[in-house]
Amino acid sequence: MPAPLPPTVTLPATAHEPAVEIPAIGQGTWHMGEGLAPRQDEVRALQHGLTLGLTLIDTAEMYADGEAEAVVGEALVGRRDEAFLVSKVYPWNAGRDSAIAACEASLQRLGTDHLDLYLLHWPGDIPLEETLEAFERLREAGKIRRFGVSNFDVDEMACLHALPGAGDCAVNQVLYHLGSRGIEHALLPWQRARGIPTMAYCPLAQAGQLRRELLTHPTLLEVASSLGITPTQLLLAWAIRPVAGPDGERRRDVIAIPKATGL
């Protein structure tokens, strides 16, 4: 009997790229490259994830000052075509020319000639028009396939959406897990109304008291036990649960990116 296909989320077509299906659960790399775990263990974790179908890998120039990108690059040697690769630019590097240089540096650390998705890490002082211009230049040069944003609230998304070319924004990557549901009030409905998927970082909560409380909550333990899964699996399933669209059809539009190692 063949293994079940992993759940996916569809990134809508843009003016230059067709719609693409990506895994609803990817691999995060925040805190990789910091020496918290042996480098080869981090590399092997990412490679094992690729083998299991977790082909979306998310990183950023911020993570360990680029060392996380280097870890990802090592993991993708000979396997780049298997991955949907995402990285992020600092807001102060997101200018008309500085974003070009930042992207080139990320590509060099990653050992690749293009990113599948490039995100503005959070809103900054550089006008969004400049960042969008840089993203378009990178796309024209074949350095990125799509662009998106991260840590934008609903007002910031509305400002972005009003700009020429911003309709091709692929995702907004934000904090979202069972213990942090603030985006459900305004941001998530706003994005769903416009067909913009959400990428959820820390879907298992950040390490510490909140994660411990979630993973040991009696109700969570009871539901997980009744389903024959672990509390961690339940939290991920909750994050990527399908919802009814405007046409009534249920589909997934949240991508969860837990860290690829348990450290």
Residues designated as active site: 63
Question: In whole angstroms, what separates CA 6 from the centre of its chain?
Answer: 17
What CA–CA distance (Å, rounded) separates 105 from 84? 18
Alpha helices in 153-251 (DSSP H): 154-161, 187-193, 209-215, 218-227, 231-239
C-beta neighbour count of 234 within 10 angstroms: 20
Residue 119's φ and ψ, nearest 5 degrees, are -115, 145
**Closest CA relative to residue 80, chosen from 55, 98, 62:** 55
Question: Which residues, at least 6 apart from 224, have a Cβ–Cβ distance to it below 8 Å?
Answer: 230, 231, 233, 234
Task: Return all residues near 38 (Cβ < 8 A) that are at least 6 apart.
Answer: none
φ and ψ at residue 23, rounded to 5 degrees: -60, 140
Contact 99, 93 (CB under 8 A): yes
> Is 257 strand, coil or helix?
strand
